[in-house]
A and B are shown apart, each in its own frame.
Chain A
Amino acid sequence: RKEVEQDPGPFNVPEGATVAFNCTYSNSASQSFFWYRQDCRKEPKLLMSVYSSGNEDGRFTAQLNRASQYISLLIRDSKLSDSATYLCVVTGGGFKTIFGAGTRLFVKA
């Protein structure tokens, strides 16, 4: 089993749609959780950290369920500019930072 697993993509959605990505992790000792965004041929960049209480940043909402070892990202009112690959990132008990394979999102007009 992979240490971090994400929904397979790609997701093709119209502008204005709500889309949700899921991610599971295998190491119950994991302590830090993030969602990154990666544009084509660019390096990954932080989208948002994920906290146990859940957190929201504008149209983006991230949630963490430690009991189920599950992380989610919700994007509301999708924009064309949201088209990218979204990477789930987990730092394990040994402080090794592991990335999921990513989920590609295409937002179409």
Chain B
Amino acid sequence: DTGVSQNPRHKITKRGQNVTFRCDPISEHNRLYWYRQTLGQGPEFLTYFQNEAQLEKSRLLSDRFSAERPKGSFSTLEIQRTEQGDSAMYLCASTSIRGQGGNTEAFFGQGTRLTVV
């Protein structure tokens, strides 16, 4: 399977615990994005990487959230001291650069559904 892979698919955690999600993008894609999606809303941008560099982080993202892409391949998203409001689907997507500018289409993983109880 050469698509985007996310692990785990589901995570239930107690409030206050830390959680970490992993995303393995399509190998030849150099851009990787994290989104959060709640019911009835579109994917909300969290952050993105070009290779190993984190180029932008949403202003909506609290400092409890951190993401890394240490070798420009897989990425991790960590949420510290989880709160009930963090419950959502966390989606990862990857793209590559289009020759005439912009991105190729984004391919998504199946997401990690987080439930904070």
Q: Are A and B part of the same complex?
A: yes
Closest residue of B by beta carbon distance from A40: B39
Q: Report B-chain residues with C-beta under 8 Å of the C-beta of A107.
A: none
Cβ contact within 8 Å between A87 and B43: yes
A101 to B102 alpha-carbon distance, docked (Å): 21
CB-CB under 8 A for A99 and B105, given A43-B110, A94-B56: no
Q: Which of B34-92 contact A (CB under 8 A)?
A: 35, 41-45, 48, 50, 55-56, 91
Closest residue of B by beta carbon distance from A42: B110
Q: Which of A16-39 contact B (CB under 8 A)?
A: 30-32, 34
Cβ contact within 8 Å between B102 and A99: no
Q: Report A-chain residues with C-beta under 8 Å of the C-beta of B56.
A: 94, 96
Cβ contact within 8 Å between A91 and B91: no
Interface string of A76-109 (1 = CB under 8 A from B): 0000000001010101001111111110000000
Closest residue of A by beta carbon distance from B56: A96
CB-CB under 8 A for A49 and B31, given A43-B110, A101-B42: no
Cβ contact within 8 Å between B45 and A97: yes
Cβ contact within 8 Å between B35 and A99: yes
Interface string of A26-68 (1 = CB under 8 A from B): 0000111010000000111110010000000000000000000
Closest residue of B by beta carbon distance from A94: B56
Cβ contact within 8 Å between A98 and B111: no
The one of A97, A100, A102 in contact with B93, judged by C-beta atoms closer than 8 angstroms, is: A97
A34 to B48 alpha-carbon distance, docked (Å): 18
The one of A6, A43, A98 in contact with B45, judged by C-beta atoms closer than 8 angstroms, is: A98
Further pairs besides A87-B43, A97-B33, A99-B44: 7, Cβ < 8 Å: A31-B101, A87-B42, A95-B50, A95-B55, A95-B103, A97-B48, A98-B45
